[in-house]
Amino acid sequence: MTSPVLQVGPLPPMLERALQNDHAAHRLPDDPGAVETFLAEHAEEVRVLVTAGVAGVRGIDADLIAALPRLAAIAHCAVGYDNTDLHAAAARGIAVSNTPDVLTDCVADAAVGLMIDLLRGFSAADRYVRAGRWATAGPFPLTQRVSGARVGILGLGRIGTAIADRLRAFDCTISYHNRHPVPGSAHRYLPSPIALARAVDVLIVAAPGGAATHHLVDAAVLAALGPHGYLVNIARGSLIDEGALIRALRDGGIAGAGLDVFADEPNVPAELRSLDNAVLLPHLASATEQTRAAMSELTLRNVTSFLATGTLITPVPLPGG
C-alpha cells in the first residue's frame, strides 16, 4: 500500500494510530541495514515526514532528505526541531512545522518543580529517609529557600516567559538573556550568559537547541554562577558543556543542577549519576497525558492540512527565509 506519510522514529501511540488510520503511514525501519531497501520501494511516495526527535533515533538529515525526491514537508511532534537539517530543507523548499504553545505549561511547571527540588533537596532527602539515615545520622542538612531567589532565565520565549510568570508567585527577582531584549518585558535584561549567571542564584536554561546555542552554558558561565549557584535545564542537553558541568558539580564550582535533558540521551554519564547534588529526570518535562494528546493532535492537523492545501498550521522559519 502506498502512502504519502513516513514516520521516522517513535511517536506517541495515539499519533501513530491516527497516521496509520488516516494516511496509511509507513515507518522508516529502525535497522540501518533495512533503510536502503525500504527507500528503494517507497521513496517516490513520500511527501511528508513525521518525527518526534527522540534521542538516539536518526534525525532528518541531509542524506534522508536527498533520498526523498517528492518530500515537501517535515512535521515535528515537538517544540524543538534541532534534529532536522533546516539548511537542507530550506534548499529544497521543504516546509517544516513544530508544536508550539501546547507544551508550554507543562515544561514551565517542570522547570519550577526542578528548581524547588534542587534548592530544597527533596529528592536527596527522600533517598536519605529510604536509606534509614534519618534514624542513624540525624536530621537532613539544611537546604536553601526558594521564595525570594534571584532567578536568571536563558531564553525568554514562550516557555521562559511562562517560567517567569510562575516564579513571580514566589517573589523571585527575574533577569534574562536573549539575543535581543524582549520589547515590553518587565524583567531585567543582561547582555550575555556570563553576566546573567553572575547576577543570579538560579540559572534556568530555556533557549532553543541547535548549532547557534551549542555549549551556550560553558565553563565560564558555570564559574560566573559560582559555588552558591544552581543550574536548571529543561531545554536541550546540547546547550550545556556536560563535561564542564560534571567538573563544576564534583569540585564545588556550583551548588547543584536539575537536569531534564542531556547531551547523549538516553545515555547519562555515570559520574553525573553518582552526584548527590544533581537531580536527574528522563526528559519528561512535557510528558503528561494532556500535553502529549495536544501535541499529537496539532501534529496530525499539520500533516492533514499540508496534504489537503499545501500549508502547515504551525510552520517554523527556515534559514534564508
Report the mean per-residue pLDDT for the chain: 96
- Active-site residue flag, 44: no
- Active-site residue flag, 236: yes
pLDDT of 321 over the 80 cut? no
Same domain? 53 vs 36 = yes
The answer to whether residue 316 sits within a structural domain is no
Q: Which of 58, 166, 247, 283 is catalytic?
A: 283
Same domain? 119 vs 90 = no
The answer to whether residue 40 sits within a structural domain is yes
Q: What percent of the chain has pLDDT above 90? A: 93
The answer to whether residue 285 sits within a structural domain is no
Same domain? 19 vs 98 = yes
Q: Which of 47, 236, 242, 292 is catalytic?
A: 236
3-state secondary structure 248-260: HHHHCCCCEEEEC
pLDDT grade, residue 84 (50/70/90)? very high
pLDDT grade, residue 90 (50/70/90)? very high
- Which stretches does DSSP call E strand in the chain? 5-8, 26-27, 48-51, 73-76, 95-97, 150-154, 173-177, 188-189, 202-205, 230-233, 256-259, 278-280
The residue range of the domain holding 115 is: 104-280
pLDDT grade, residue 207 (50/70/90)? very high
pLDDT tens-digit map of 258-315: 999 999 999 999 999 999 999 999 999 999 999 999 999 999 999 999 999 999 999 9
Helix axes 289-309 and 13-23, enclosed angle (nearest 10): 20
Residues 118, 232: contact at Cβ < 8 Å?
A: yes
